Amino acid sequence: MSYEVQGAGEPLLLLHGFGGCGQDWQPFVALLARHFKLIIPDLRGHGGSTNRAGRFTHRQAAADVFALLDQLGVPQVRAMGISTGGMTLLHMATSQASRVEAMVLIGATHYFPEQARAIMRKTSQRGTPSEDARRATDCAPRGDAQVRELMKQFGEFKDSYDDMNFTVPYLGTIKARTLIVHGDRDEFFPISIPVEMYRAIPGSALWIIPNGDHVPIFGSHAREFQEVVLPFLRRDRPAR
């Protein structure tokens, strides 16, 4: 498992989205590293990490990350996760609740709705869209073979019903302080999903970003994202 550690202070785990890698967090690393010790892994099969099993589940990704934290001697973390990274955090926060002190879920879901499965079916039938392919290639040191393998695994999510299948009562067992960040134009997960998670996770906070896409934290949204999440992670003041 490939990972980087930067900065000093309390540990902050940063998990990327599917097809990406740890370097996706680069726009925020300089600021966050002034306040936290950043742990930035590549999830299995992504970036420099291997995946001999040839399949990907968020449950297994959570087990991988816990193994990394054990290796680093980190008993508890604050964390942020983009899409698949956020789904991995849901598995972590439910399976070992005391180890996740706080988490920010960005463009995440507790189940795959039909509109997401439709995109997955298209990916499975015709391959990934060119924009996603270019992004995946940037995070694929093993080249086209790695990209094809990841896109195959992404397409297989269309038939997955047990990996991401969190009930409302199960979400209610989460103890982590939780901030849910979601774009109201998310092409995968409609805003009914983050609203349901917000209602189910005790004491959580919800931020719906107007005109935000699936991962609405980059570009024009980056500065505001930093202004919101840093106080939440540091507990300077409640998240709005």
Q: Smallest Cα–Cα separation from 97: which of 199, 173, 178, 163? A: 173
Is residue 83 situated within a structural domain?
yes
Which residues are within 8 A (CB) of 40 and not within 5 positions of it... i.e. 6 or more apart?
Answer: 3, 4, 5, 6, 13, 14, 22, 25, 29
Amino acid in the structure at residue 233: L
- Whole-model pTM: value is 0.94
Tokens 């680069």 belong to which residue?
26
| Phi, then psi, of 221 in degrees rounded to 5 | -90, -10
Mean pLDDT of 153-158: 96
Burial class (CB in 10 A: 0-12, 13-18, 19+), 52: exposed
The answer to whether 34 and 18 are in contact (CB under 8 A) is: no
CATH of the domain at 176: 3.40.50.1820
Is residue 93 situated within a structural domain?
yes
Of residues 231 and 126, the one with the higher pLDDT is: 231
Is residue 25 situated within a structural domain?
yes
Is residue 193 situated within a structural domain?
yes
The predicted-structure confidence for 78-136, as pLDDT tens digits, reads as follows 999 999 999 999 999 999 999 999 999 999 999 999 999 999 999 877 655 445 555 55
Range of the domain at 38: 3-111+164-234
Residue 133, pLDDT score: 52
Is residue 156 situated within a structural domain?
no
The DSSP-derived string for the chain is --EEEEE-SEEEEEE--TT--GGGGHHHHHHHTTTEEEEEEPPTTSTT---TT----HHHHHHHHHHHHHHHT---EEEEEETHHHHHHHHHHHHSGGGEEEEEEES--SB--HHHHHHHHHHHHH---HHHHHHHHHT-TTTHHHHHHHHHHHHHGGG--SSSB--HHHHTT--SEEEEEEETT-SSS-THHHHHHHHHSTT-EEEEETT--SSTTSGGGHHHHHHHHHHHHHTSS---
Is residue 138 situated within a structural domain?
no
Is residue 141 situated within a structural domain?
no
The answer to whether 177 and 101 are in contact (CB under 8 A) is: yes
The answer to whether 16 and 25 are in contact (CB under 8 A) is: yes
Is residue 218 situated within a structural domain?
yes
The predicted-structure confidence for 30-76, as pLDDT tens digits, reads as follows 999 999 999 999 999 999 999 999 999 999 999 999 999 999 999 99
Q: How many domains is the chain partitioned into structurally?
A: 1
